């Protein structure tokens, strides 16, 4: 005889099994936001009584000291570098939209720039130290006698040069003689031309007398 089937028990809701599982994000609820760590970074320079110089005035100070710098360079020095350090003690006024700098920091920067310029000039004026190879070559050249001497002149070549020199001298003498003859002929032609001019003048005078 068949046994009666047992009634099915209701299955538990799967979602109930996870009701006690904490949310992953809850474990990190006390972690501060990354940007919160930068909220306490102070201003690079607080406004003080000594923040009196403008960027243009500081640039003129550099120019007067002989180490001229542009206003753009001054502004860059007012801002912190990658290490968060500014070269000049400066304060940016949001109302005036410009920087105000302390005279002390400006004078200190001027002194640093002058020291750099002096060092550069010194390096330029000082001769470059010779390298070990150059010193070795110099010592070898001064201490070692020359292995070669002046070559003996070739008699054939000497004779050829002497003959060429003699021919040139003769040619120059002939040229001088020819020039002198040309001068004499020119002078003779000039004298003849003058005489002919006088003769023409005399003949013209006679013709006028005969015509009258």
Residues 113 and 191 in one domain: no
Q: Which domain holds residue 167?
A: 163-212
Residues 28 and 104 in one domain: yes
How many structural domains compose the chain?
2
Per-residue pLDDT, 211: 83
Last residue of a domain, one of 76, 108, 125: 125
Residues 59 and 121 in one domain: yes
Give the pLDDT means over successive 10-residue stretches in the chain (212 positions).
54 50 46 40 61 95 93 94 91 92 95 92 73 66 55 79 88 85 85 86 88 80
Per-residue pLDDT, 43: 44
Per-residue pLDDT, 110: 95
The overall longest dimension of the chain from CA atoms, in Å, is 194
Residues 180 and 110 in one domain: no
Residue 50 is assigned to a structural domain of this protein: yes
Residue 140 is assigned to a structural domain of this protein: no
The answer, as to whether pTM is greater than 0.85, is: no
Residue 5 is assigned to a structural domain of this protein: no
Chain segment 22-81, per-residue pLDDT in tens: 454 444 444 444 444 333 333 444 678 889 999 999 999 999 999 999 999 999 999 999
Which residues are CB-neighbours of 8 under 8 A, at least 6 positions away?
A: none
Buried b (16+ CB within 10 A) or exposed e, 125-136: eeeeeeeeeeee
Residue 146 is assigned to a structural domain of this protein: no
């Amino acid at each position: 005889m068949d046994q009666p089937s047992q009634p099915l028990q209701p299955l538990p809701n799967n979602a109930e099994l996870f009701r006690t599982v904490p949310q992953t994000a809850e474990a990190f609820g006390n972690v501060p936001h990354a940007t919160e760590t930068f909220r306490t970074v102070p201003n690079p320079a607080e406004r003080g009584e000594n923040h009196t110089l403008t960027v243009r005035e500081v640039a003129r100070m550099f120019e007067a000291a002989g180490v001229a710098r542009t206003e753009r360079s001054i502004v860059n020095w007012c801002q912190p570098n990658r290490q968060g350090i500014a070269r000049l003690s400066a304060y940016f006024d949001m109302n005036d939209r410009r920087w105000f700098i302390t005279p002390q920091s400006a004078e200190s920067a001027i002194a640093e720039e002058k020291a750099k310029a002096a060092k550069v000039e010194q390096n330029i004026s000082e001769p470059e130290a010779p390298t070990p190879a150059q010193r070795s070559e110099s010592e070898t050249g001064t201490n070692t006698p020359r292995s070669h001497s002046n070559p003996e002149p070739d008699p054939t070549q000497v004779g050829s040069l002497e003959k060429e020199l003699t021919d040139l001298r003769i040619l120059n003498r002939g040229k001088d003689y020819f020039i002198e003859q040309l001068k004499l002929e020119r002078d003779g032609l000039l004298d003849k031309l003058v005489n002919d001019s006088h003769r023409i003048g005399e003949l013209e005078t006679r013709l006028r007398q005969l015509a009258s």
